[in-house]
Amino acid sequence: MKKDIHPKDYRLVVFKDMSNDYAFITRSCVQTRDTIVWEDGVEYPLYKLEISHTSHPFYTGKVKLVDTAGRIDKFNNKYKKHFASRAKAE
């Protein structure tokens, strides 16, 4: 195995699912700007998640449209001319 390829700065980080406020703490080397005070009263770095196992449709069994970045609108705007020309042809 190669030496010195893994990061050395592992620390406790809180990961928080912003869609349902579920949070868990684990060791990670992810870089964050935000912090949060955890249940034990200690301040930890905070990494915000858009989706986790508590909100993902595969794990919850509930189908829920997640369009956090306006992906549908971006797609429609990108291909607007294509759809318009196709509609005229029909």
Predicted pLDDT at 39: 92
Domain around 31: 11-89
Residue 1 lies in a domain: no
β-bridge mates for residue 22, sequence order: 17
DSSP characters over 9-73: --EEEEEEETTTTEEEEEEE----SEEEE-TTS-EEEEEEES--TTT-HHHH-------TT-HHH
Residue 82 lies in a domain: yes
Residue 85 lies in a domain: yes
Residue 4 lies in a domain: no
Residue 28 lies in a domain: yes
Query: Is residue 58 scored above 70 in pLDDT?
Result: no
Residue 79 lies in a domain: yes
Predicted pLDDT at 80: 80
Residue 57 lies in a domain: yes
Q: How confident is the model at residue 67 (pLDDT cuts 50, 70, 90)?
A: low
Domain count, the chain: 1
